[in-house]
Amino acid sequence: MIIERQRSLTKEQKQAVGLLSIGTMLEYFDLMLYVHMAVLLNELFFPRTDPFTASLLSAFAFCSTFVFRPFGALIFGYIGDTMGRRVTVVITTIMMAISCIIMAISPTYAEIGITASVIITLCRIIQGLSSMGEVIGAELYVAETIQKPYRYFYVSIIPTLATTGGMLALAVATFVTQYTFNWRYAFWAGAIIALIGTIARSSLRETRDFVDAKQRLKRNFDLIKSSTNTSIDFSHTLIQEKTNPKTFFALFFIGCSWPVCFYLCYIHCGNILREFYNFTPSDVIQQNFIVSIVHTLSYFVLAFLSLKIHPMKIVKTKILIFTVFSCFLPVLLNSHSEVLHILLIQFFIVIFSLSSIPASAIFYKCFPVFQRFKCCSFTYALSRAVMHVITSFGMIYIINRFGNFGTLIILVPVIITFTWGILHFCKLEKEQQEICY
């Protein structure tokens, strides 16, 4: 098997990567803006309640973004696998722009009552649906356009800049909560940027993998029409390729890991800061902003390492380090004595968190072309939805019952299943005669 390697990117490829990367960053800025300003916006759009109910409302507002993502994955998966990757990223950008405009002009709960809560929740659902087609569509576009070794790097840059968008959202949230800046301006800026991105992305060409597969499929159908030999077996045409269930579940389990790391780092540690160190919501947002900077930088480092080290080797190293760290995590969370200890724990979680970066391109290429968008986006969405619900609601009761040692109840199975998923894709790589360290 001849392994294609690319020495440099063409001008068209650089333009496509630029449009997709910057677009994804801004889309995730729009998506995460409400999440990080929930402490402020929930008071404006939801009724005032007791602290426990308020925490549940906050969890609901957060989860509403992810719970409906599997439906978005099915919708945009179908569009992406039938109409193409380019069409999908344009549609999702338009949806994000519209939702931002609505959120920027929506009256508050004090003005129209529960209707405000409904409008905001629907906007969050729309943003969740559009972000689903956005990030996977952009990653697949790059994976199908660029050859190795740059494929690993540039596919990793997409979620890295999505994380950058979340970091910028935290920066705005910090500015708004500390200086009483009008939050509506942020959503207006996001809407305008999304509209500009829509126009820019309309110039993208369809990916080579998708175009080639469409052409091969057309030739097969033409051959069927012109053939008089009914004994010819066309059962193996591209459109009939099936996804291996083990491959589907392997990607699902890999996707389940990050929501747990996100909860432990940003939510659970934030709760500790409020409870033990009397941090205000504004203080928590400010510290999370610092953590997000380290998080983003760590993703950039992993992306650059993939140019020199095989991505699977990087992921396996992270598994080993994170597994050892998880064994001591409950003890570390119980023995902290100053804010710096919590900050260092947060840094360690985001740097060595279990995630698909920088190996996403390897996983995507293991799916059939006409099943790829649907399967990859659905597993991504389903894993995020399931785990965000489990962590947002389940962890509250588990930690209340078992303390910080309760984190192991979720961490242990997540590490085991994540490792199994990685080993499965390593096996597929070997079967395809590619090097897997």
Using a 10 angstrom Cβ sphere, with 0-12 exposed, 13-18 middle and 19 or more buried, the burial of residue 348 is middle
What predicted TM-score, i.e. pTM, was given to this entire model?
A: 0.76
Residue with tokens 């900050």: 343
Rounded (5°) CA angle 393-59-391: 35
Can you give the C-alpha Rg of the chain in angstroms?
22
Q: What are phi and psi of 182, to 5 degrees?
A: -65, 110
> Would you tell me how many other CB atoms lie within 10 Å of the CB of residue 36?
26
**Per-residue confidence (pLDDT) for residue 373, from 0 to 100:** 78
- Candidates 58, 31, 63, 64; CA nearest to 46 is 58
**Per-residue confidence (pLDDT) for residue 132, from 0 to 100:** 65
Is the preceding omega at residue 330 within 30 degrees of 0, hence cis?
no
- Candidates 71, 131, 70, 59; CA nearest to 95 is 131
Determine the residue type at 225: K
Determine the residue type at 36: H
CA distance 332 to 199: 49
CA distance 190 to 34: 12
Using a 10 angstrom Cβ sphere, with 0-12 exposed, 13-18 middle and 19 or more buried, the burial of residue 271 is middle
Counted residue by residue, the chain has a size of 437
**Per-residue confidence (pLDDT) for residue 236, from 0 to 100:** 47
**CATH tag, 11-215+243-431:** 1.20.1250.20
> Would you tell me how many other CB atoms lie within 10 Å of the CB of residue 351?
18
**Per-residue confidence (pLDDT) for residue 2, from 0 to 100:** 42
The answer for residues whose C-beta is within 8 angstroms of residue 285's C-beta and 6 or more apart is: 36, 39, 170, 173, 174, 177
In tens digits, the chain (437 residues) has pLDDT values of: 444 555 566 777 777 777 777 777 777 777 777 776 766 677 777 776 655 565 566 666 666 666 777 777 777 777 776 776 667 777 777 887 888 888 888 888 888 888 888 888 888 778 777 766 667 777 877 777 787 778 888 888 888 888 888 788 777 777 776 666 677 777 787 777 777 767 766 666 665 555 555 555 455 445 445 554 444 444 444 455 677 889 999 999 999 998 899 888 888 888 888 888 888 777 887 888 889 889 989 999 998 998 889 999 999 999 999 999 999 999 998 888 888 999 999 999 999 998 888 888 888 888 887 778 788 888 888 888 888 778 877 777 788 788 888 888 889 999 999 999 999 998 888 876 544 44
- Candidates 167, 176, 169, 171; CA nearest to 350 is 167
**Per-residue confidence (pLDDT) for residue 436, from 0 to 100:** 41
Q: What is the 3-state secondary structure (H, E, C) of the chain?
A: CCCCECCCCCHHHHHHHHHHHHHHHHHHHHHHHHHHCHHHHHHHHCCCCCHHHHHHHHHHHHHHHHHCHHHHHHHHHHHHHHCCHHHHHHHHHHHHHHHHHHHHHCCCHHHHCHHHHHHHHHHHHHHHHHHHHHHHHHHHHHHCCCCECHHHHHHHHHHHHHHHHHHHHHHHHHHHHHHCCCHHHHHHHHHHHHHHHHHHHCCCCCCHHHHHHHHHHHHHHHHHHHCCCCCCCCCCCHHHCCCCHHHHHHHHHHHCHHHHHHHHHHHHHHHHHHHHHCCCHHHHHHHHHHHHHHHHHHHHHHHHHCCCCCHHHHHHHHHHHHHHHHHHHHHHHHCCCCHHHHHHHHHHHHHHCCCCCCCHHHHHCCCCHHHHHHHHHHHHHHHHHHHHHHHHHHHHHHHHHHHHHHHHHHHHHHHHHHHHHHHHHHHHHHHCCCCCC
Q: What are phi and psi of 359, to 5 degrees?
A: -105, 10
